[in-house]
Chains A and B, each alone.
Chain A
Amino acid sequence: MLSSIAKPFAALALAAALISIVLAALGASPVGVFAALGEGAFGNWYACVDTIVKSTPLVFTGLAVSLAFSGALWNIGADGQLTIGAIAAGAIGPHLGNFPHAIAIAIILAAGALGGAVWGGVAGWLRARRDVNEVISTIMLNFVAVQALSWVVHGPLMEPSRAYPTSSPIARAAQLEFYFAPSRINLGMILAVALAAACYLLLFRTGAGFELRAMGRNRRAATFFAIRIPALTLWVMALSGALAGLGGAVQISAISHRLYEKLSPGWGFEAIAVALVARLNPLGIIPAAILFGALDNGSQAMQRTQGVSPELVQVIQGLVILIILAFDTPAWSGLRENIFGAPHDAAAAAPLAEMPDA
């Protein structure tokens, strides 16, 4: 039997084999392409740093998704929550020039978390009070968030010269610094790692986390034991949104310093794959996010040196996700129950036979 650690590697090897076939068919050299991928992702100090920078938003959104999914709340809206968090950070950021650095950072991050919490909380409230399926509401709220961003950078938050559809840059005091200059490593990744540990403790070491997991595994049993599902739903969706929104604020504070359209290349969606690959375990989110960040980063080197199209990189990512999931079904069992109703398959998962009583 493959251990839980060996499985993802076996999946990667299988993905590599499949991709080699595709590459060979296209006339490219698999060895050259993979070498370029590795070189681009981890080949030197700068590449490594860049990989980490690219992974950071995925850790935030991945944690957001894994927390909600643990309670069988299918938050597909991390992208929208991240975007609203970024808008909140981008809106308040230019006005923080008179604050000390630490305070300004605290304010801009809090603004992002609050924005995301509101966005996630709306979906949570709709589910808890009006029984609106959160899959639908979060997808819809994604559209609203993207249009809201487009509107603010063309309207109320547009920079003073009115030449470009971007916001004014945030104050120097509100910018997360590159502590390892000239590299772009910043406090964001450190914060992300701390949050992953916090989420792990929350899920597996607190009463509230237990209630959340119980709700995720068997909603009916949870109601029978007086777990307050509506309240839990609201809080978890808000917390999930806050994590994603924090990711948006970190991106503004550390990297982009201003708002512009299409800020997120789909971090909230990629996060679903990240969370599933990590089997919803918050500690697994970090390596999973780095894997995806490395694929992103390495792909640019592939394009430069091997002339492989960027689309093929997405094909590779898709194959990796599919194969990892095929190797690892447990993360889906909850989803299956949610779609097909009460967990009859839980009985099927148990040995079909009765085990002896004595």
Chain B
Amino acid sequence: MLRANAITKRFGRTLALDAVDFEALPGEIHALVGENGAGKTTLMNVLAGSLAADRGETILDGRPLRAGSPRAALAAGIAAVHQSPMLFERMTWEENLALGGFDTGAGALDLDAIAMRARSLAAKLGFEMPPAGATVENRSVAERVRLEVLRALSFNPRVLILDEPTSVLAPSELAAFLDLLRNLRGEGRIVVLITHKLAEAIAVADRITVLRRGRVVARTTPAETSEEKLAGLMIGEIVAQPAASATPPHSGDPVLQIEDLTLDDHTGRRILDRLSFRVAAGEIVGIAGVDGNGQTELVELLAGARRPSGGKITVLDGSSDGAMAVIPQNRDLDGLILDMRLWENLILARPLRERVTSHGWLDTARAIDLCRELIDRFRIHVPGPETIAGALSGGNRQRLEVARAIASRPRVIVAHNICRGLDLAATAEVHRTILDFSAGSGAVILISSDLDELLAICGRLLIISRGKIRETNRGERDPERLGLLMAGARD
């Protein structure tokens, strides 16, 4: 039995955990739910030993764990999968797994044996590993997370703690993943699942603990609760806010035209295959797809970070410079510079940088003012413009990115998985902002692997699969059929 007694942890003036008791039994999936900032990740870090609590202790099977030592926690049988992948980008996936428990020791590093064990475990869990010798930097987010789960499982742990693992999985991968969790439970392990996807918690968990602002506000079971009740407990009051209603298919003037857009990687493999579509003013076009089907590359092309091998991206009416604002999917890697200040992150966007630069000189006072204005307007909870971006929570980082995109006054916003890892309130807020933008006749391309999100706010839906894009029938709303299309089925 895993037990945490009266864990208290303070960061500066912030009380992250306030005398939290937590308990999980062998053969149990225990869901830990709460909003961003509720303290879920902090609790996980304490349990997994990567953070020492100010007070309280962690006990596994009657033995107290040494606080603040991930090594001791691992030795005792507690393995954790972190929210943002902690992988070595420029090493192969086999080398990354070599740091796990697949290696039999014996001194020599046998990557083939590691790959074999990994592949067989992956097959049991229902997914494939990347080609032999592939480096991590080119893999999709979903593949990275699977790699992490595999690495944690390689230690054959008694306790597996997963921090938001499903937020990056495609719908088609979700069922298999939940089955995997059930299998682990069947083997008598303790599974702690941190999530804010309430449906999932109810579907798979035996017990649910709800955290709010560093305190346990409820301990319940799926039988005695519901999504609505859990949402109410998490947020503290019942906020009846359906994200938004879907925008009607809009027939404004076309703003963006993409013709035969093609991209081959340096080995000549075709990543994007003659994409053609248009986006009109005031329209929100969704692009649905399982991660790793060319979405990241499409965003890179639209951002101008990469040159296409063929085809054209044209912003109709007006110059193309600054007409497009991109919100990349990986906030921490692509969208922000975490060790720079907020105002500096803001002027990463060229239109904003130009607004505070004259004759090459940067007017820092104006940049700071602009930042303060946006902090107020978009209700970003931070001390001020001089705060380092890395000190922000996930929700506030996303608010900053959305604020930056809107403030750039683009014709088109391209947003990739913008609500991944955000809680209900933050998601609704981001959606509302995007809808407001489109209502002001801005065009939006929303790329996501979350069908529910796309169905909620998109007027038109495209499917991307193996680098090809196809229109769906207007009014096609059946998630099952769409899911099949995403998986690459032909009509």
Residues of A within 8 A of B (CB): 204-210, 213-214, 217-218, 220-226, 333, 340-344, 346-358
Contact = CB atoms under 8 A, between A and B. Distances in A.
A343 B338 contact: yes
B237 to A, nearest CB: 12
Q: Which 5 A-B pairs have the closest CB atoms?
A: A341-B89, A350-B390, A353-B42, A356-B37, A346-B338
Given A210-B353, A217-B339, A221-B337, A226 B305 contact: yes
Given A343-B338, A350-B390, A210 B362 contact: yes
Contacts of A346: 332, 338-339, 390
B353 A207 contact: yes
A114 B141 CA distance: 46
Contacts of A343: 332-333, 338
Contact of B16 (A223, A225, A353, A358): A353
B332 A347 contact: yes
Contact of A357 (B339, B348, B395): B395
Q: Which of A206, A340, A350, A354 has the most chain B CB within a 10 Å cutoff?
A: A354
A211 to B, nearest CB: 8
Given A354-B393, A358-B381, A224 B300 contact: yes
10 contacts: A204-B364, A208-B360, A220-B333, A221-B348, A342-B137, A344-B86, A351-B391, A353-B51, A354-B36, A354-B393
A224 B354 CA distance: 17
A355 B156 CA distance: 32
A355 B392 CA distance: 6
Interface string B325-341: 01010001111111110
B14 A210 contact: no
B213 interface: yes
B441 interface: no
B58 interface: no
Interface residues of B, number: 63
Contact of A221 (B9, B87, B334): B334
In this complex, the member of A207, A218, A222, A357 whose beta carbon has the largest number of chain B beta carbons within 10 angstroms is: A357
B339 A354 contact: no
Interface string B10-54: 010010100000000000000000011111111001000011000
A350 B388 CA distance: 9
A207 B357 contact: yes
Contacts of B388: 350
B426 interface: yes
Interface in B190-243: 213
B381 A354 contact: no
Contact of A226 (B38, B39, B303, B395): B303
Contacts of B381: 356-358
B20 to A, nearest CB: 13
Contacts of A220: 333-334
B37 A358 contact: yes
Given A224-B326, A225-B348, A355-B11, 4 more contacts: A217-B340, A350-B338, A357-B37, A357-B426
A225 B340 contact: no
Nearest to A348: B86
Interface in B358-379: 360-362, 364
Nearest to A356: B37
A280 B394 CA distance: 30
Contacts of B71: none
Interface centre among A204, A217, A220, A221 (most CB of B within 10 A): A221
B265 to A, nearest CB: 15
B69 interface: no
Contacts of B36: 354, 357
Given A224-B334, A357-B393, A341 B39 contact: no
Contact of A344 (B51, B87, B353): B87
B349 interface: yes
Given A207-B357, A224-B328, A333 B37 contact: no
